[in-house]
Chain A
Amino acid sequence: MVSDSIPKVSIPIASSNPKDFAKKKRANRSAKLKQSKLDARREQYLSQVKNKGLKEEPNTGGTHGSAKNVANERERLIEKLQIKPIGEEDNEGSLNHYSDFDSPTSHTSSVLGGNDSGTNFTGSSRGSSSSSSSGGCCSGSVSEEDEEAEDDCLDDWEAVADALAATDKKQEQQNPSLDSHFERNENMAHMSSRQEVSERQGSGIDRSKQECNDRGLTPRPPLSCRAWRPDDTFRPSGLPNLSKQHSFPMNSERHCRRDSVWGCKTLATPMLCPICCEDLDYTDTSFLPCSCGFRLCLFCHKKILEEDGRCPGCRKQYNQEAVEREATIDGGRLTIRLARSCSMISRS
């Protein structure tokens, strides 16, 4: 959802930006900023919830039997959320800085602040920045940032603010339930909102998962952490088939085996054509053109037929008909043929 809204938003940024230079880059940058900002806010929010949960646990643990379980689950989920790729750390650092800049005017920051019941607005934000590992403090992130990036972000200040407002509006439109949660949470007492908190967290996690998927990060399978098995019924058909990948080496293996079989077979019969020294294939080895038993490949046989048509082994004229007939040929024709060849020799 979040990532879906980004391209839509980036278009008005690009058009509304009065500076023509590096428009695209800025648009990208602002989109990234927005993304990371949203991440940071979510983290902030979650850490707040975590703090709250930790705070509340000793108070309410005795009254509600499921409180501990809920808290544990929450912690686990938060841990999952906080595992982020290292490459985003920088963004997170910078975005905290941005969000601090934004906070006076930004729409969402007020929502975020408000969701912690208003009383400890500053305290919660401070607590979140200190509690979240990736949050970092403002000064640290400012000092760590290179100047160019800072300049860029300062130049793009208006655009970023616009973009943020736009995304937040969009998000509000798209996630009315989430915002309603927030509002309700504001009104409700802490003790009674436990269930909803867990619900909200669930939705937040879903959002994060979706984001992860949209950003092309490794998606976490919803049911188990194991990869799909080839015989899994729920396995997406779009995934590449492992057996197909294995097919090449398997084929080559089979090929080798077959070759060895052929080698064994060809050991019995002459392997090479005595004329052209090429390998005799199965057709050639079963080809017996002359009764003398001289074997040769079909190519050479054809060439010889085109030239003088005599068997290289016995120098008799090849019979154009089947080989079996040559065995039963009458002696007269054979002698006539021999005589003809002899006459040719004597003539030359």
Chain B
Amino acid sequence: MQASRARLFKEYKEVQREKTADPDIQLVCDDSNIFKWTALVKGPSETPYDGGVFQLAFSVPEQYPLQPPQVRFLTKIFHPNVHFKTGEICLDILKNAWSPAWTLQSVCRAIIALMAHPEADSPLNCDSGNLLRSGDIRGYQSMARMYTRLAAMPKKG
């Protein structure tokens, strides 16, 4: 409990100090609860998510950093490793590959990397996974771009 607080507080200070260090990630702590964080990540370029801003919700357990934080997409995203309805993310570092040396910032980077490199073999979004596994890259990309424009981009007009 105390260790997790200290650790999160240090991460918070780190984020405040390096606000402009990583322009793709904006990590914000909840005003009243240091165990609740939200992040805004930019979709990586040369992907169907380019131009979109995706919101992530972090729920940090009290055993953090020994236990990984629970992260899910608040913004709808068409990705084979993200549950389309719940936003749940299938990422090894958020499960058993978690290391206490990781931080919330590094989790955000890992999620950006996951967006750029979808893993179709362990899909949460079966439609997306099936498109990729069947080799329909264009179908996947168009679907993903459509949802990015619908959900992750500011509405025009």
Contacts and interface: CB of A to CB of B under 8 A. Distances in A.
Interface of A: 272, 274-278, 294, 296, 299-300, 303-304, 307-308, 310, 312-313, 315, 344-345, 348
A244 to B, nearest CB: 38
B101 A277 contact: no
B89 to A, nearest CB: 15
Main secondary structure of the interface of A (DSSP, over half): loop
Contacts of B21: none
B95 interface: yes
Contacts of B3: 275-278, 299-300
Given A275-B101, A313-B101, A303 B66 contact: yes
Contacts of A275: 3, 7, 65-66, 100-101
B14 to A, nearest CB: 10
Contacts of A310: 99
Contacts of A296: 100
A277 B13 CA distance: 12
B7 A277 contact: yes
Chain B residues touching A, range? 10 to 19
A345 B99 CA distance: 13
Contacts of B66: 275, 300, 303-304, 307
A318 to B, nearest CB: 12
B20 interface: no
B10 interface: yes
A277 B12 CA distance: 12
A248 to B, nearest CB: 30
B33 interface: no
A274 B101 contact: yes
Contacts of A307: 66
A300 B92 CA distance: 22
B100 A312 contact: yes
A276 B92 contact: no
Contacts, number: 45
B3 to A, nearest CB: 4
Contact of A315 (B7, B10, B65, B99): B99
A345 B96 contact: yes
21 contacts: A275-B3, A275-B7, A275-B100, A276-B3, A276-B65, A277-B3, A277-B6, A277-B9, A296-B100, A300-B3, A300-B66, A300-B100, A307-B66, A308-B96, A310-B99, A312-B99, A312-B100, A312-B101, A345-B92, A345-B96, A345-B97
Given A276-B3, A276-B7, A277-B6, A304 B96 contact: no
Given A275-B7, A277-B6, A303-B66, A344 B96 contact: yes
Contacts of B97: 315, 345
Contact of B6 (A278, A303, A308, A313): A278
A304 B100 contact: yes
Interface string B1-32: 00100110110000000000000000000000
A304 B99 CA distance: 10
A294 B100 CA distance: 11
A71 B76 CA distance: 112
B7 A348 contact: no
Nearest to A306: B66
